[in-house]
Amino acid sequence: MLFIIGLGLGDEKDITLRGLECVRKCEKVYMEAYTSLLSFGLASDGISSLEKLYGKTITVADREMVEEKADQILSEARTSDVAFLVVGDAFGATTHSDLVVRAKSLGIEVRVVYNASVMNAIGICGLQLYRYGETVSIPFFTETWKPSSFYEKIQKNRGLGLHTLCLLDIRVKEPSLESLCRGRKEYEPPRFMSINTAIEQLLEVEQMEGQSVYNDDTLCVGFARLGSESQMIVAGTMKQLRSIDFGSPLHCLVIVGKTHPVEEEMLDFYKSGTENLEQDVVNVAA
């Protein structure tokens, strides 16, 4: 059997009791490490904490391994119980659906254990989850590649008065273009997009497109390390958030649509630190 198990957003303790029971019964445990990361990233001591609690050796599976060696994982699941651990919820990232489809097509039984993900944890800021439109991803720009397909989606959301969750790029074990040209893979250092970079790119695209979808004065909410003890949540304009140091990853951003009075009341709790940016930003989410 193949178990797809959500780990939640913080650390090793965020796994559910059901998930923990499933992990402990499995002969092989994989942990995906390309759609998101727990608060400790891929640090060896963090992985050791997982292994100590779970009582299992964990194989960290990057995108390359899952895409190129999925057959190995599925082959093992034919004859034994295999756990595939996912940060957040099992299906918070659509890439895991492919693994499930392949398993089912081979007649392998699949069991899913759900958990919290960024898709619902953002509710902490007070913006009601059913008032969100399509979620968008913001990739890192390069000098020659500046995709802007997210702009139209944000435009549609804002036209309907809906909020937009922006998921920010994570680049872990990405081969460099130069090494690929030489036919030998060499990997770039890990990169995690910050809220500041995301806003800079969003405003750059607005300047290019010129449809007045948003601007410096557009209200947003910045989230850093959501679900961990050091999480930071600040509401303010794009201009204000652009000047704040949100600290270590992971970050995400919400572009606020039309708000209900109850939403506005809750958002006010997260505006501390943006009225006067010369003062230290208060971690109002602690």
Binding positions: 9, 89, 92, 117-118, 168, 226, 251
The single-letter DSSP state of residue 174 is P
Q: Report the binding-site residues for S-adenosyl-L-methionine.
A: 9, 89, 92, 117-118, 168, 226, 251
CA angle 227, 46, 86 (to 5 degrees): 60
Q: Which residue is it, tokens 């400790």?
A: 40
- In 3D space, the residue among 90, 30, 38 whose CA is nearest the CA of residue 61 turns out to be 30
Coil, strand or helix at 274: coil
Tell me whether the omega of the peptide bond preceding residue 202 falls within 30 degrees of 0, making it cis. no
Inter-residue long-range contacts of 149-152, CB under 8 Å, 24+ positions, other chains counted: 150/205, 151/205, 151/206, 151/209, 151/211, 151/213
CA angle 3, 129, 137 (to 5 degrees): 70
Q: Which residue is it, tokens 């979620």?
A: 135
Cβ atoms of 35 and 137 closer than 8 Å: no
Coil, strand or helix at 161: coil
